[in-house]
Structure formats: C-alpha cells, structure tokens
Amino acid sequence: MPVPPDPTILRPMPDQPRVVLLKPLVTSPLIEVGEYSYYDDPDEPTAFERRNVLYHYGPEKLIIGKFCAVGTGVRFIMNGANHRMDGPSTFPFPILGGSWSAHFDLLTGLPNRGDTVVGNDVWIGHGVTVLPGLRIGDGAIVGAASVVTADVPDYGIVGGNPARLIRTRYSDQDIARLRAVAWWDWPAEHITGHLRTIMSGSIADLEAATPHTPW
C-alpha cells in the first residue's frame, strides 16, 4: 500500500532544505498549524516564528489550516503592532521604560481584531503581508506581494495593495460542494489513493471519492 509522507518530519524533502512543514516547527502556543502546511524560504525557513509572525504578544492566535503553501517572505502582522491613534502622537512612549513606563495604561485597550485565520488548501504567494484579525478562506490564492487588508472569501483569488478580489475559482454552489467534501480532512491514506482526483479531477469526481464511513 502506498505510504503518505510523514507529517511530523520537519523537512519532508531532504534535498530541498528550504521547505519545512510548519506543524512540527512551531513551538508558540499562540500559533496553530494543520498537517502538511509548509513554508518555503532559501535562507532561514526554521525562523518562521521569529521572522514571519510579527508583533505577536497575544492573546490572539495565528491559525493556519491543512495543506497550505506559504511563500518566501510572507508576513503575518499581529495585533501587537497597533498604536494609539486618538491623540496627537502615535508614539508608544511607555514601552521604552524609565519614568515613561508609569503611563503603560495608555497602551491598554488598543484595537484587537482577534485571531488571524488561514483556511485549508490556501496558497499565499511570495512576499505577501497579512494584516491582523483577517480570515483567508479555504482554497484561496493570494498573489505575490499583496497586502491583505480584508477577509478573503473561500476559493477567492486576490492580489494587489490593498489586495482586491480578482475572481473566485468556482461558483458559490460549487464552493459549497467543495467545502462539504473537505478533502483535507480525509485520512492521509485515502488522500494518497485519490491524489490525481484532488489535483486534477472534477468536483463530481471528488464527491464520488469521499469516504462514506467515519474515520
């Protein structure tokens, strides 16, 4: 029986050290990643938490689903990047310490948009920036160098700065069918047996391949 790749191995392709699976890499309790989602970086792919998830002081989370492809230089800007904007200056004086730290209350209660959520089977291109508290839907594609400032719909293709919807990959009806199939939740062995259908088949083919017994 064909054996699927091990989702617990950091570098699934020994000859391509630039590609790392994120689930076995991340250590922060504020980051959740599904199986087989990967990050590609020729320099420091294992520095993803430090270099690609910025201003992440909590309590909001970064949640990435299964089977996502994250391109080099993608940045997730988290809520900790926010500054006050209701006074004459946006400068965060209290964080520099000294007597200024007595005014730390001025930095509490800043806007918090909540968790940043990336769905399943999402392709995020090179150099994308994702702003705090957004949802990128299942099956979405984010074009290279885009700045995502608003939610991306399921199976939407967005691009630009700010990123705008170019088109959706399927009709609303077909998107509902794809999300009902949710192939990314199939057992890895079943996915292995139907790779060609998942990658190049029709929605009807996917529906026909869906397991009919719980796993």
State the pLDDT confidence band at 2, using cuts at 50, 70 and 90.
confident
Same domain, 41 and 11: yes
Q: What CATH code is carried by the domain that includes residue 5?
A: 2.160.10.10
Q: Tens digit of pLDDT for each residue in 66-95?
A: 999 999 999 999 999 999 999 999 999 999
Whether 139 is covered by a domain: the verdict is yes
Q: Tens digit of pLDDT for each residue in 176-187?
A: 999 999 999 999
Whether 184 is covered by a domain: the verdict is yes
pTM (two decimals) = 0.95
- Which value, to the nearest 10 degrees, does the dihedral of the CA atoms of residues 158, 49, 63, 176 take? 30
Same domain, 143 and 177: no
Same domain, 6 and 80: yes
Active-site amino acid positions: 83
Confidence at residue 213, expressed as pLDDT on a 0 to 100 scale: 64
Q: Tens digit of pLDDT for each residue in 115-140?
A: 999 999 999 999 999 999 999 999 99
Whether 97 is covered by a domain: the verdict is no
Same domain, 123 and 163: yes
Share of the chain above pLDDT 90, in %: 90
User: Is 39 within 8 Å of 50 (Cβ atoms)?
Assistant: no
Q: Which domain holds residue 119?
A: 1-84+110-169
